[in-house]
């Protein structure tokens, strides 16, 4: 899956006693109701965030993970996490469909009927 948005927050890498490392970032989606989405980068993927800055537009390849946890009281809870595995910077112009439209409309449009000289009409209707 992919998410696209603006980098809202970059957090520092965290290293745990087991040697496990993770780094998180929050992107703000670009939709009618923008959503701040927290994405984790684990182990060797944390370096993908090194060249990013807050405010940049990015496209992030993600996996959604689910976990089940049983409390000491026997209650089962479910948790989800979003794990990033790829980050691609997106230029401002590439994400705007209006830019692509203006390039298409630059080609001249002909008002000639392409079938005007076709007297040999072999259609059955």
CATH code: domain of residue 29:
2.40.50.140
On whether residue 37 sits in a domain, the answer given is yes
On whether residue 34 sits in a domain, the answer given is yes
pLDDT digit string (tens) for 40-90? 999 999 999 999 999 999 999 999 999 999 999 999 999 999 999 999 999
On whether residue 114 sits in a domain, the answer given is no
Output the pTM of the full model.
Answer: 0.69
pLDDT digit string (tens) for 5-20? 999 999 999 999 999 9
Residue among 9, 91, 107 nearest 53 (CA): 9
Q: How many domains does the chain have?
A: 1
Model confidence band, residue 124 (pLDDT cutoffs 50, 70, 90)? low
- Which residues make Cβ contacts (< 8 Å) with residue 70, sequence separation at least 6? 76, 77
| Gap between the Cα atoms of 123 and 121, Å rounded | 6
pLDDT digit string (tens) for 87-123? 999 987 654 443 334 344 445 555 565 555 555 556 5
Question: What range does the domain containing 82 cover?
Answer: 2-89
- DSSP label at residue 19: S
Hey, which residues does 39 pair with through a beta bridge? 25
On whether residue 118 sits in a domain, the answer given is no
């Amino acid at each position: 899956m992919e998410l696209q948005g603006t980098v809202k927050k970059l957090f520092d890498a965290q290293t745990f006693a087991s040697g496990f490392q993770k780094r998180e970032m929050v992107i703000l989606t670009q939709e009618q109701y923008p959503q701040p989405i927290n994405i984790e980068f684990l182990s060797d993927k944390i370096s993908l965030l090194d060249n990013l800055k807050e405010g940049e537009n990015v496209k992030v390849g993600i996996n959604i993970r689910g976990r089940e946890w049983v409390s000491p009281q026997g209650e089962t809870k479910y948790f989800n996490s979003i794990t990033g595995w790829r980050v691609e910077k997106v230029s401002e112009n590439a994400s705007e469909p209006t830019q692509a439209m203006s390039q298409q409309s630059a080609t001249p449009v002909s008002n000639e009927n392409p079938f005007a000289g076709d007297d040999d009409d072999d259609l059955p209707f």
